[in-house]
Amino acid sequence: MSALPLDATGHAPARRGTRIALPVALAVLALPLVTAAHHARPAPYGDRLTVHARVDRVDDASPVGDPALRAKGRAVEAYDKESGSRRWTYTRAGRRPVALLPAPGHAFTLWNDGLVTDTARGSVRWHRAVPASADWLRTPDARDGAGVLQPLTPDAGMLAVVTPHRIAAYRTSDGDLRWVLPAGPGCAFAPARSVRRGGALLVAQPCAGPAAAWTAQVVAVDDYGRIVPGRAPLGNGDVRRGPGGSGSPEN
C-alpha cells in the first residue's frame, strides 16, 4: 500500500470527502436552530387566530352562511348561526376589539390601538392603521367606536372608516385605500351621527362658530367619495353599466 503524500508542514493533507462532509454536517446541525427561530418569531400585529371548525363553501367567494360575531373580553368570536358552535376566535396581543361589523364574507374589527382588520374564510386578510385614532377611541366622544365602520355598498365591497379628522374608504377585497376625505377647517366628523339614505352615507360634520352653514355640517359620501353636483369620481375597479347594458372598468 502506498503512503499518502505529505504537505509542506510534513502532515498528510485532508481527504476531499472530509472537506465536503464537514460543511454538510454543520448545515444539518444548524437546521433545527433555524426552524426554532422561525417558529419563535412573533405573529404580525400580535395576531392569534384559532379555527375551531371549517365550513363547506358553495365557491371560493361565497361562504355558506356567514357566522354570528361577538366581542368577548379581548377576543372576537365567530359562531355558527344554526348550531351555536364556535368557528374561530381572533385575538391580538395586548389589544381589545372596540367595534365589529359583519358583512357578506367578511368580519371587520376596529381595535383599541386604531387598527382595522378584515377576517374572512378563517384567516386574517389585511390590517389597516387609522391615523390619530387610538387616543380618541379612549374618550367618551368615541362612543365605543359607534359608526366608525360603515359599508358603502350592499355587498360591503367598499368600507368607510369614519373618524373625527377624516373618512377613508378601502376596497375590501384587498384592503386597498381608494379615497380620503378630510374634515373641513374648524369641523370634525361625528361617526355616531350618521345615517344611510339610498346609496349615500350621510355623516354629521359639526363646525365651530355660529356662522357655519348647516349645509356644511352634513357630508354625503358613497363608494366613489363625496357626493357633489357634477363630480367625475375615480373608479374602484368595478364595472359601471350604461343604459344599453354595456360597461367598462372605471379605474
Instruction: Tell me the three-class secondary structure of the chain, residue by residue.
Output: CCCCCCCCCCCCCCCHHHHHHHHHHHHHHHHHHHHHHHHHCCCHHHEEEEECCCCCEEECCEECCCCEEEEECCEEEEECCCCCCEEEEEEECCCCEEEEEEECCEEEEEECCCEEEEEECCEEEEEEECCCCHHHHCCHHHHHHCCCEEECCCCCCEEEEECCCEEEEEECCCCEEEEEEECCCCECCEEEEEEEECCEEEEECCECCCCCCHHHHEEEEECCEECCCCCCCCCCCCEEECCCCCEEECC
What is the mean pLDDT of the segment spanning 178-188? 94
Average pLDDT, the chain: 79
pLDDT in tens, 57-115: 433 344 457 889 999 999 999 998 888 899 999 999 999 999 999 999 899 999 999 99
Look at residue 183 and tell me whether its pLDDT is greater than 90.
yes
Residue 209 — very low, low, confident or very high, per pLDDT cuts 50/70/90?
A: confident
> What's the gap between Cα 115 and its chain centre?
8
User: What per-residue confidence (pLDDT) applies to 6?
Assistant: 54
Grid cell in block for residue 178: 381608494
Beta-sheet pairing, 97-103 with 86-92? unpaired
Q: Closest by alpha carbon to 161, among 215, 99, 214?
A: 99
pTM for this model (two decimals)? 0.73
Residue in this structure with the C-alpha cell 358603502, named with its chain if needed: 152
In this prediction, residue 58 carries a pLDDT of 38
Name the phi and psi angles at 43, rounded to 5.
-65, 145
Indicate if the pLDDT at residue 245 is higher than 50. no
Q: For residues 114 and 134, is the Cβ–Cβ distance under 8 A?
A: yes
Q: Each residue of 129-151: pLDDT tens digit?
A: 999 899 999 999 999 999 999 99
User: Would you state the pLDDT for residue 5?
Assistant: 56
pLDDT single digits (tens) 22-55: 554 444 444 444 333 333 344 679 999 999 876 5
Q: Looking at the predicted structure, is the pLDDT value of residue 19 above 60?
A: no
